[in-house]
A and B are shown apart, each in its own frame.
Chain A
Amino acid sequence: MSTIQVQTPGLQTTVQDLGRNGFGPLGVSPSGAADPISLRLGNRLVGNVEDAAGLEMLLLGGTLVFPRGAILALAGSDFGAILDELRIDVGTPVEVRPGQTIRLGPTRSGARCYLCVQGGIAVNAFLGSASTHILSGLGGFQGRALRKGDVLRIGSASKDFRRRTIAPRALEHLSPRKVLRVTAGPQVDWFSESSLRSFYAGTYRVGEQSNRMGLRLEGAAVAQQGAGQMITEGVSLGAVQVPAGGTPIIIFVEQQTTGGYPKIANVIAADIHRVGQLRPRDEIRFELVTCDEARSLLVEQENMLASPELILE
C-alpha cells in the first residue's frame, strides 16, 4: 500500500475533493477545494477522475515523504516545490521514486497549491465526500488539517506515468484576476445608489482573518438604507454579505449555510476558483455583470476545460 508520510504539515494542509452537495437541510455546506479548477486539472494530469481527493495547501506547504513512490502533480499556486534536489514545476506530473521527499515552501503566487497523486488520497468518505470541513471536524483525514507524523493512504491505481502539461492558453485564462465579477445580491435594494457606487468603485483588501468559511474585506464601509430586519435565510456560495459594521465578507466554501446579513452582490460561478487563490492583503475590486453574462462566462470556461487540447501529452 502506498502512503504519504507527513514530516512537516505546512500552514494548513487538508484533504479536499469537489465537496458534498445535497445536505443543506442538515446544515452541512459543500466544502471541497477552494480552487476547484486547480484540483480538477491536477487530477487530470495524473490520470485521475476530476473529483479525486488531493491535498490543498495554504500559503506555506509542508514536507512529505513517499516510502513507496507515487505519480504526482502540483496545480494552482507555485510553492517552490523540490523533489529531493530537483525543482518541480506546477502543472507537470512527476514520477516519485520510493523514499523520495517533496518539500514545499512559501507561495510565490496565489494562496493555494494542490498536490494530486495517481489513485487519489484514500480516506473514509463522510456524506459521500472526502473533503475536510475544518470547523466541525468532519470529513477528510480525521476531520482536521494534517499534522507531523500523519500517514495518508494513496488509493490503488495501476502505475501509468505519462508526460502531460496544461496548454499555455488555458493557464493564461486561469491566471490570477483581482477583479471579481459579481451579480446583484438578493438584498441589493437595501443599499443606496451612492453605497453601490462606492462598492463598485472601491478597492478592498483581503483581511488576515480570512479562511475557508469566508474572506473578510477591509476598505470603505458600505452603508445600508434604513435599518431593515433580515429574516435568516439560505446563503449562496460567493455571497458578499454586509454586516452592521459595513465591511463586506465573501462567503466561501466551508460556509455557514444560512445567515441573517443582507447580501449586496454574489461572486459568479466562473470566478469562485479565483477567490480560492486570494491571499491576505491582496487588493480586489468588484465588477457587476448580469446572470446571462455570468452563464456565458461559465460556459466558456467549462468548454475550455473540456477541450481535448487542454492537457497536452
Chain B
Amino acid sequence: MQTRTTDAAQFQRASDQSLLVYLGQRITLEAHERVRKLLRLLERKPIAGVRNLNPAYCSILVSFDALKLNHRDLEEILRGYLDRLDATPIPKGRELQIPTCYGGEFGPDLHEVAALHGITPAQVIELHASVSYIVYFLGFVPGFAYLGELPEALATPRLDSPRRSTPPGSVGIAGKQTGVYPFATPGGWRLIGRTPIPMFRPGRKVVSFLSIGDRVRFTPISAARFATMENA
C-alpha cells in the first residue's frame, strides 16, 4: 500500500515520524550484512533530522523529527545511501565467549527441553555450545542480543505463558534463536543456563558486552566457577 520499491530495499511508513527500510524478506546472512552496511553508513554520515535507528534481522527502523524531515525526502536521501551499500566494507565481528552454567537453578527448563527433543540434558548442552552464533542485532531491552541460529535439533517453541521475571544473565532459547537476558524482565524463552557476565554495563565506555555482527560461543562452566566469576 505505502510500500515503494527500489532495487536495494523497500520502504514502509511505520508512523508519521518513522520509516521502515527492509533489506530482505527472510532472515539470512545476506540480509544481515546489508543491515550492518546501511547502519554503518548512517552512523558514519548521519542524516540531519534523524533521531534514532533500530536495526533488526532484515530491516532498520529510521525515526526522525517530523518538523525537520518527511518520508519523501528521507526516502530520497536513503536511496543515495543504498546505492553505496555494495561498495561498503563492514569490519569482521569480534569472536567472544559467554561462559555459561547450564541446568539446575540456573537453567530451570533444561530437562523439559531435553524431553521435548528426546535427548539427554547433556546433549542439549553439547549442542548449544557446539556452534558459533552471530549477533543479528540488539533489541527488546538494553543489551539483549538476538543470536542465531540454533542447531536444528534444538529449535524449541516459546513457553505457553511467559515468566513474569527472568533472572539477569539467564540463557534462553526460542525457535531457532538463543539469547541472554540482561535484566530481570518478563520473558517467554526457555531457560537452559545462566552466565555470570553482565550483558549491559552502565558506567563502562562500551556499555553493551555484545555488538551487532559479533560471533559468540557459549562455553559450559561449573557452578563453582560461576560463583567465582560472579564475585570477581
Contact = CB atoms under 8 A, between A and B. Distances in A.
Nearest to B52: A24
B143 A183 contact: no
Contacts of A291: 13, 16, 70-71
A233 B56 contact: yes
A257 interface: yes
B140 A257 contact: yes
Contact of B20 (A28, A186, A259): A186
A234 B61 contact: yes
B185 interface: yes
A236 B1 contact: no
Given A24-B54, A236-B17, A268-B15, A189 B1 contact: yes
Contact of A136 (B17, B26, B137, B141): B141
A55 B41 CA distance: 38
Contact of A138 (B2, B53, B142, B146): B142
Interface stretch (A97-105, A273-281, A294-302): A294-302
B143 A266 contact: no
B106 interface: no
User: Interface majority SS on A: helix, strand, loop or mixed?
Assistant: mixed
Interface in A14-39: 21-28, 30
A183 B58 contact: no
Given A136-B182, A299-B67, A22 B16 contact: no
A73 interface: no
A263 interface: yes
User: Which of A188, A235, A256 is packed against the most chain B CB atoms within 10 Å?
Assistant: A235
Contact of B142 (A28, A232, A259, A268): A28
Contacts of B63: 21, 24, 236-237
A258 interface: yes
A267 to B, nearest CB: 8
A236 B66 contact: no
Contact of A27 (B51, B57, B67, B143): B143
23 contacts: A22-B53, A25-B54, A26-B208, A27-B141, A27-B208, A136-B183, A138-B142, A186-B13, A189-B1, A231-B56, A237-B17, A238-B15, A239-B14, A256-B140, A257-B140, A258-B146, A263-B14, A266-B18, A267-B15, A291-B13, A291-B71, A294-B16, A302-B67
